[in-house]
Structure 1
């Protein structure tokens, strides 16, 4: 727990490690005819990180909203700190020591860090704010957590990671006993996420009970003591993370075995649509590349980070200049290749970095989904005057087809979750006729359900006779989704596997350089 000098102690008793803090039994919640939760079971103990794991719509958000009093429940039992709860409100949850950090922060941008921490709970001396005491307590909690933040800084000037630090400090300032974190790494860099993990582990050691909502397997494996799996609003199971594999978690969440997780894609290899011949990139990230991209099959690129696989896809779309060699498309050499020429040659590219390259984050869904086809007669008159109704109609249809979850067509791209951003980027690729689809890290940072939906898109495109190329750092993904796999190491192609040759062992054997055995001298005995 935060020490008394670093928090506004409320007299809450300390909890022993393993003591039950929250217990939900047979909890039901409906919105009209829609059953958001059915028969939910959940228990949180002091000194543990308990992960809620499930697809979008599984009921995770409803569950944490019930715990912190944002939503009520219809039936079942809720016990908090061994006391029955019939009615919970956010204010009551706060007073009892339950704090939540939502994905969308509750900070006032124009106010300072200090003002946000005490908003609604200001300390007073007589008729004035006790600013000296408030600042002392702010410094104490920030120092306790190791947050290098200026209490006088306005929140709007802080990066998102630092704003999240403010939210956590705000939660812990008031004798927090239960901390709920909703997708806390969604907008953080790897380095920022690592710092957050250190803080969570420290808080767990201090005896807090932490409810952690996430779909990212690496962080679940690192942090979780237990995992409760939800599916379609129903309780599936609670498991010990140390005794459960990733494959078992995926099966519990989806109801599919791991082998069924990846779709079977029919291969009908046809004409060569693109060919690299002796290509070396100007920046030196890849050299002497020769391979073919064929209609009706998935070509995968595998290799360690920095091997050059992403640069190959960028070169195919005209984003990397060539030092030598040539790229042909439909038998025509692509001289002075560029993204504009790529679009004209029916090549579509989905970059790995959605935020800076893939989407216009401040623009709405309509603008993002049709931006690659504004010269198409469907969406404009001679590429000049836009046909707004046609844009809206296409976007509405593609949102439904790809199951993009959005507040509306006018919502900005930065309002969507990672998986829905990825599907919005894919929508752009369906706005006009393309023959070649280049996917760089197609499922990076998306939840399991979104992965399944993206895999179905790749299957549909391939079986419709399109050529699909994927570069992925997930070995299972590139292995199960590809008909052929090219393995790269240090910018060079070191192997090409086809069909049944594509196995985990075969791929890994190419990832690392192997010393050639020294030749035997004439006098050596065999």
Structure 2
């Protein structure tokens, strides 16, 4: 099967052209050819009307084609400035001019509005800060074409605003920008045209002014957007989780209760404290006050491992750093929680036949293709990695599942599949929390919605009252940040 089949794509000077499609649609293959990472088996690439053979990334850069890949290419032991100018270091005679390198790096950060130190070691940076460094690397060359692959995945809203302002500046200079994102809400802000790919083929190119999200989803998946979010037909039962006055650095004392069979949506801007609150509940962040009661038992001061064993499960938004072992196969990852949960043990001995059977059942449940089950997780697409992460959650029988940004970096088709898994959990009587920066996701999956802003809960809304306009008003409640 061809990853990309006879795709025609054109980019005008001074435009943002979005590439849109599910994981596996061919987006990464196309940009890897444009970036010089791989060579096409057929067809040609033209730049300013001249045929180009970008056999390396360096050759593409020498012609002004810069790419910010979704996977970081930073060297952890070097400083931010050293990473930015690697291979292009300014010189003072025979020596590298480190002072000039830091000065030029700082100029780029100031222009982009990124709060970074050129002297900081990359290993000390958060994922969001490393994302900023990757983006900044592209802005010190002679740009003609800039390719951005999921550039806002780890950025706060303010940082996204700075990035989009800089993109507009580059457009004004005549730079052509190829932009890949699953965040359709961004398209209206920056896109001039959108090309949709499906199964390695081009479905069509449309002007952003002539389309909308519903039309783009239908082009991408072949399904109407109304079919993406399932109806979760449950009547919430008894209370299984009670949180009273829980606080952690950055989050004021907050409370909630959660019932069996209920899906609780949690919405708020990046940095509002919604994730920190639930991480404190899991013992992943130090809590300052409050109690957590699960099925009538106080689990406030237990270890994270014991909290999970008691029936409260947390799915991290960072699948690579906290959720998956990239150097192991999908089956190995899926088997981990089966083994640690004790469901495959008898008298202290692990029955590996039972483990294999449970792993196969879980892989089927999350619709992980058979060929991917024995592959290293690092070799899978983001959507399939997320399926493995979901599968790990099913390795034990929890009472409450907390899904933190469950579809980050995942295409709409895979989202629909994961939403069905959330539906099946709720309808099986499990309590589910969906923490999401994607407002339509948080609203459409939930029975009830909590809104966080400035480190505290600003609203609790029934599903019927949780319209986008209503929720957004609670995002911007004036309040001093909680320290």
Q: Give the shorter-chain TM-score range.
A: 0.7 to 0.9
User: 1:334: which partner in 2?
Assistant: 297
Q: CA RMSD in A?
A: 4.8
Aligned residue for 1:274, secondary structure, equals strand
Shift of 1:411: 4.5
Q: Which ranges of structure 2 fall in alignment gaps of 5 or more residues?
A: 478-483
Report if the CA contact (8 A) 2:6-2:201 is conserved. Answer: yes
For residues 367-421 of structure 1, give each alpha carbon's deviation from its aligned partner in whole angstroms, at most 9, with x where no partner exists.
Answer: 75455444444555655x76778767755764565356998868577x8766555
Tell whether 2:163 aligns with 1:200: no
Shift of 1:239: 2.3
User: 1:49: which partner in 2?
Assistant: 16
Counterparts of 2:461 and 2:156, CA distance in 1: 32
Report if the CA contact (8 A) 1:50-1:228 is conserved. Answer: yes
**How many aligned residue pairs are there?**
457
Aligned equivalent of 2:314, options 342, 349, 358: 349
Shifted more, 429-438 versus 44-53: the winner is 429-438
Counterparts of 2:363 and 2:72, CA distance in 1: 26
Report if the CA contact (8 A) 2:400-2:431 is conserved. Answer: yes
User: 2:254: which partner in 1?
Assistant: 286
Aligned residue for 1:285, secondary structure, equals strand
Shift of 1:105: 4.5
User: 1:89: which partner in 2?
Assistant: 55
Q: Residues 176 and 313 of structure 1: is their aligned pair in 2 closer, same or farther, counting only changes over 3 Å?
A: closer
Shift of 1:62: 1.5
Shift of 1:46: 1.0
Aligned residue for 1:40, secondary structure, equals coil
Aligned equivalent of 1:253, options 206, 220, 238: 220
Counterparts of 1:158 and 1:304, CA distance in 2: 24
Q: Which ranges of structure 1 fall in alignment gaps of 5 or more residues?
A: 1-33, 515-526
Aligned residue for 1:438, secondary structure, equals strand
Report if the CA contact (8 A) 2:263-2:433 is conserved. Answer: yes
Report if the CA contact (8 A) 1:372-1:431 is conserved. Answer: yes
Aligned residue for 1:38, secondary structure, equals coil
TM-score by length of 1: 0.68
TM-score by length of 2: 0.73
Aligned equivalent of 2:200, options 233, 249, 261: 233
Counterparts of 2:473 and 2:103, CA distance in 1: 52
User: 1:181: which partner in 2?
Assistant: 148
For residues 34-54 of structure 1, give each alpha carbon's deviation from its aligned partner in whole angstroms, at most 9, with x where no partner exists.
Answer: 122234221111112212111
Aligned residue for 1:431, secondary structure, equals coil
Report if the CA contact (8 A) 2:246-2:290 is conserved. Answer: yes
For 1:280-429, what aligned pairs fall within 5 Å after superposition? 280-283=244-247, 285-287=253-255, 289=256, 293-294=259-260, 297-302=261-266, 304=268, 323=290, 327=293, 329=295, 333-337=296-300, 338=302, 342-352=307-317, 359=323, 364=328, 369-377=334-342, 379=344, 398-399=362-363, 401-402=365-366, 411=376, 419-420=383-384, 422-429=386-393
Report if the CA contact (8 A) 2:68-2:148 is conserved. Answer: yes
Counterparts of 1:311 and 1:353, CA distance in 2: 14
For residues 175-229 of structure 1, give each alpha carbon's deviation from its aligned partner in whole angstroms, at most 9, with x where no partner exists.
Answer: 3322222233345555554444343333222221121222223443433222211
For residues 308-349 of structure 1, give each alpha carbon's deviation from its aligned partner in whole angstroms, at most 9, with x where no partner exists.
Answer: 97688668768878858x9462xxx21345456654554433
For 1:42-121, what aligned pairs fall within 5 Å after superposition? 42-76=9-43, 78-84=45-51, 87-90=53-56, 92-106=59-73, 113=81, 117=85, 119=87
Shift of 1:60: 0.7
Report if the CA contact (8 A) 2:23-2:383 is conserved. Answer: no
Report if the CA contact (8 A) 2:72-2:134 is conserved. Answer: yes
For residues 493-523 of structure 1, give each alpha carbon's deviation from its aligned partner in whole angstroms, at most 9, with x where no partner exists.
Answer: 75545xxx46638965995999xxxxxxxxx
Shift of 1:58: 0.6
Shift of 1:55: 0.9
Shift of 1:98: 2.4
User: 1:16: which partner in 2?
Assistant: none
Counterparts of 1:459 and 1:431, CA distance in 2: 17
Report if the CA contact (8 A) 1:487-1:496 is conserved. Answer: no
Q: Residues 225 and 133 of structure 1: is their aligned pair in 2 closer, same or farther, counting only changes over 3 Å?
A: farther
For residues 227-259 of structure 1, give each alpha carbon's deviation from its aligned partner in whole angstroms, at most 9, with x where no partner exists.
Answer: 211111111222233443333322222222111
Report if the CA contact (8 A) 1:437-1:468 is conserved. Answer: yes
Q: Residues 478 and 459 of structure 1: is their aligned pair in 2 closer, same or farther, counting only changes over 3 Å?
A: same
Shift of 1:430: 0.8
Aligned residue for 1:286, secondary structure, equals strand
Counterparts of 1:155 and 1:242, CA distance in 2: 40
Looking at both structures, which has the greater relative contact order when contacts are Cα pairs under 8 Å and sequence separation is at least 6? 2
Aligned residue for 2:3, secondary structure, equals strand
Counterparts of 1:81 and 1:513, CA distance in 2: 46
Tell whether 2:422 aligns with 1:458: yes
